[in-house]
Amino acid sequence: MAKPMKFAGFALKNLFSKPATYGYPFVKKEYKERYRGKIVIDIDDCLFCGLCSRKCPSGAITVDRNARTWSIERMGCVQCANCVEGCPKNCLHTENAYTDPAAEKVVDTYQGKPVEKKEEAAAPAEDISDKLPVANLDECVFCGLCAKNCPANAITVDRPNKTWTLDESACAHCGVCKAKCPKKCIEFK
């Protein structure tokens, strides 16, 4: 008989106390100033390097470099802000709000401006067979695309320490690093 009496006291206490929840959707929640909520992108500043996608632990972000699209599955995002911290251009930030509830999963897709291709005169291709790539570190955002695309794994990029190193003996002199650099900061010398 002692166990039902303990439960009765708990039930009576809750019966006469205020509710622990608020009346959503009629009463909107006030978010604290430092609340990490919805991820927002300034698409015009985005390089489409994909670092945010690689940093996302839940896989909610998808970047298509060729189509210049950036997508986020809102209900898959865990608001950890790893993507914000990993963005080399600082084009991601958190907004002090949350995605409104919906019956379906919400995927927001943003389209970047198309890249204008510069018309170049029909010049002979540069012979780089005896030259090595050199990065202009003042222009480099250390996105790592040159290292990722290097077929010989000759380039190492360390974002936290802002270093770019080349293993000269492994370099294949192919020019892929220069072609893949979004900032065009690699030259062969």
Q: Which one, of 162, 189, 185, lies nearest residue 47 by Cα? A: 185
pLDDT in tens, the chain (189 residues): 556 677 788 788 888 888 777 777 777 777 777 777 789 999 998 888 888 998 999 999 999 988 999 999 988 999 899 999 988 788 999 888 777 777 888 899 999 988 765 554 444 456 777 789 999 999 899 999 999 888 778 999 998 999 999 999 888 777 889 888 988 999 988
The CA-to-CA distance between both ends of the chain, in Å, stands at 89
Q: Tell me, what DSSP letter sits at residue 20?
A: S
pLDDT tens for residues 31-85? 777 777 789 999 998 888 888 998 999 999 999 988 999 999 988 999 899 999 9
Task: For residues 36 and 171, give the distance between their C-alpha atoms in angstroms, rounded to a whole number.
Answer: 43
Q: Which one, of 57, 68, 62, 61, lies nearest residue 39 by Cα? A: 61
Cα-flanking dihedrals φ and ψ of residue 44, to 5°?
-70, -25
Residue 106 burial class via C-beta count within 10 angstroms: exposed 0-12, middle 13-18, buried 19 and up? middle
Tokens, residue 151: 């077929």
Mean pLDDT taken over the chain: 84
Task: For residues 176 and 102, give the distance between their C-alpha atoms in angstroms, rounded to a whole number.
Answer: 44
- Give the global pTM: 0.56
